[in-house]
Chains A and B, each alone.
Chain A
């Protein structure tokens, strides 16, 4: 298998996997969404809440705030040596104490660990008027996205099969397919249609597989056999992974792959023990 990145920074990764199966691609996707742990606020103790939001609404909003996570320092609570009791190795305590008038934002959360802070400081939590007050303690814990969406490290996370565009000799260069394509993948050159090339890079992979060009070609009166044909290579996958900021994308991919690996080795162990 082969991995080619076309974009990789802290928040977004685009890469192509060659020589995989849909099952493997999906395993990777599912692992990235549900099996890479992050920190999110789980328990809160409210000392005072005279805001317009009810306690449970406030708690829900706090839970959804993405928190920068260092997985070398913290482990999932259920796998922690404390046995799920909650210790400094799997949980982080935050405090929030704000008096109105003010918009309470994620930046007002004070962390016990200076490295563990909300990803953004400007996420609104609740707007306070005069004489309104919110005082609370929040405990963030490390857990998995399959448990609750707040622990998902990813935002958009998906893949598509690699498009394969073939243009036959029967093409009469009417250009109907070029006008129909929503992704500007095709262009008209010298009485025939070809795949557009921008900066030396073929736009083939931008194709959304919508096959509107095929329909357009058939509508041009060419018959039931279109001159352009869209198919896909189900051994090549174009991935898009976007991080919510709690973990760098690279770590999300790595951790997801490690998870697949550890599940496999668990099976091998079980298999060997069984024999």
Chain B
């Protein structure tokens, strides 16, 4: 019966306890609405843990909701009229406690009606607009209510990976990594939420002319076919920036790194030619074209260990080369060189490189409907299908991408983009909206629809057209088939296609995943120091793992020799001398040109045995634990 007191947390810190948690939260909210508590404070009661969470800190994404009491929204039509007339602004409603900004935590406690007609006495809040149920990502998807829900989620996810014009000060920023899309465009078909967020000022894609047709098999499995002329005119071009930095670090003992042109005799020198691009100060100049592993900043460091002074001569200190080089697999042009001071007040050099990325086979693109694809072919404009007006699409996608995924929003956006482009106006595709008949009242299309409604006894004034109907009407007005399909001709044979082709304008995004950052192969290359096995990963020029399952295949085929080659000869094979008498690893004394076992002292009966270096390592580790692993040698048959 007796309920424990609820603990109260403010910004994560426990500050006390209260008896009546529900009453407390209710009162708190009442005080916020009456202006006794800041409107920027949010409160939530967590029943399951009996905790009250109050948040006042910055960085919480909050959204406005209309307060509802006894099933009646606090905002009245008069209030709306006052705000519309400009006599008061939106924030006045907030300070009057009629609209509240709610954060993610407080939202858990509420019962929010999406539409005013849904209101019951139990409801606590009402959405200002039904489209606000969507988050930032999903709010960018046009016509989301026409798509299958997983596709909207995927579309929302991919919007975050799109390259765009994200920073206006791109020229000045020394970010370690950065992308910038050339000729970013505002989407022809857009949503109100995207507009309010400000996406139009930082667009992240381009309006492509897209045809949906299977074409020579180069677009199967979601591959995309690009028009080479479009690419040459600038479609999907972007720049990639990377900043490298070198610092003159100080070491204990007064030694320092030096940014300079390294002398020839420094340890680990890259070779004289490698420093040809550097200026006299050891730093590369802007606008120099650089390739992978090229030196950007010449730098030398003091030796790792101080040498013992050798009697007669004072040893000349042998410095190490620690120059900063371009990453392997990356090329570019030196863009900016910044010489400044670091946090440790030592000299700091930052070199920013840029790399032009023209779309190539393997680059990833996506529409805003979770329809992603990888470029499979860039074909000349002459080969592309074309319409009677001579229009060849920028992009060709495969018809199989549509039916099973049910992205009707994608199809509608294509019609919308086409209609918008023909009319010269942007199309609003905010979710859950209809167009009032009155707006296009004079068109014969709307008249006809009105007549139907009149015949069916509907109130004509409240008749609405779906946006699909409006777009189809606009297409027809512009002289195009309202289906969005067009008669097209094969650019290679010149013959007319039997079927009409669906073609339209749709916003496509270039995604962050580009082949040039992923492409990788190895024949020979570096090995790990510890195991002497090939390194792993593209950045380290690594090998491709021949894993357990691949091993199974080899065994299944009985390909023993091929298996041994992969797993031993092409990996970490070593020849070790093994003492046949005691079974321990022996050694070869190169000075005396003889073998010797350091374990038992034997000098004969020592044989060379081929083994994996990882195995030799295992033997060493066992020895370090006090176990004596002994190899028993037999004659090879």
Contacts and interface: CB of A to CB of B under 8 A. Distances in A.
B494 A57 contact: no
A238 B493 contact: no
Given A34-B380, A210-B487, A212-B482, A234 B229 contact: no
B185 to A, nearest CB: 16
A22 B494 contact: yes
B391 A158 contact: yes
A150 B387 CA distance: 21
Interface in A106-163: 146, 148-150, 152, 154-161
Contacts of B229: 149, 152
Interface residues of B, number: 46
A30 interface: yes
A240 B390 contact: yes
Interface residues of A, number: 43
A26 B232 contact: no
A60 B234 contact: yes
Contacts of B485: 210
Contacts of A27: 494
Interface stretch (A48-56, A164-172, A246-254, A266-274): A48-56
Nearest to B170: A52
A127 to B, nearest CB: 14
Contact of B388 (A55, A152, A155, A208): A208
A88 interface: no
A149 B233 contact: yes
A212 B483 contact: yes
B500 A238 contact: no
A207 to B, nearest CB: 10
Interface stretch (B295-303, B473-481, B566-574): B473-481
A235 B492 CA distance: 18
A152 B381 CA distance: 10
Contact of A29 (B486, B494, B495): B494
B171 interface: yes
B314 interface: no
Interface in B73-99: none
Nearest to A241: B390
Contacts of B494: 22-23, 25-27, 29
A256 B476 CA distance: 35
Interface string B371-398: 0000000001110001111111000000
Contact of A161 (B354, B381, B491, B496): B496
A182 interface: yes
Nearest to A211: B500
A165 to B, nearest CB: 14
A156 B479 contact: no
Considering residues A156, A234, A238, which has the most beta carbons from chain B within 10 angstroms of its beta carbon?
Answer: A156
A33 B382 contact: yes
Nearest to B182: A57
Contacts of B478: 182
Given A26-B494, A149-B233, A238 B335 contact: no
B481 A157 contact: no
Contact of A160 (B237, B392, B444, B487): B487
B239 interface: yes
A64 interface: yes
Given A25-B494, A54-B354, A55-B287, A182 B480 contact: yes
B278 interface: no
Interface in B452-505: 475-483, 485-487, 489, 491-496, 500
B563 interface: no
Considering residues A54, A150, A183, A212, which has the most beta carbons from chain B within 10 angstroms of its beta carbon?
Answer: A54
Contacts of A150: 232
Contact of B171 (A29, A30, A52, A211): A52
A126 B389 CA distance: 32
Contacts of A182: 475-482
A232 B388 CA distance: 13
A211 B500 CA distance: 10
Contacts of B382: 29-30, 33-34, 146
A98 to B, nearest CB: 19
Contacts of B476: 182
Nearest to B487: A209
Contacts of A56: 333, 356
Contacts of B381: 33-34, 149, 152
Given A23-B493, A57-B182, A183-B479, A149 B390 contact: no
17 contacts: A22-B493, A23-B493, A26-B493, A29-B494, A30-B491, A33-B382, A56-B333, A60-B234, A149-B228, A149-B229, A149-B230, A149-B381, A158-B489, A161-B496, A179-B444, A208-B388, A209-B388
Given A154-B390, A158-B387, 8 more contacts: A22-B489, A22-B496, A57-B182, A60-B234, A149-B381, A157-B390, A183-B479, A212-B482
10 closest A-B pairs by beta carbon, nearest first, are A26-B494, A158-B390, A160-B388, A156-B390, A149-B229, A210-B481, A149-B232, A22-B494, A209-B487, A157-B390
Interface of A: 22-23, 25-27, 29-30, 33-34, 52, 54-57, 60, 64, 146, 148-150, 152, 154-161, 179, 182-183, 208-212, 232, 234, 238, 240-242
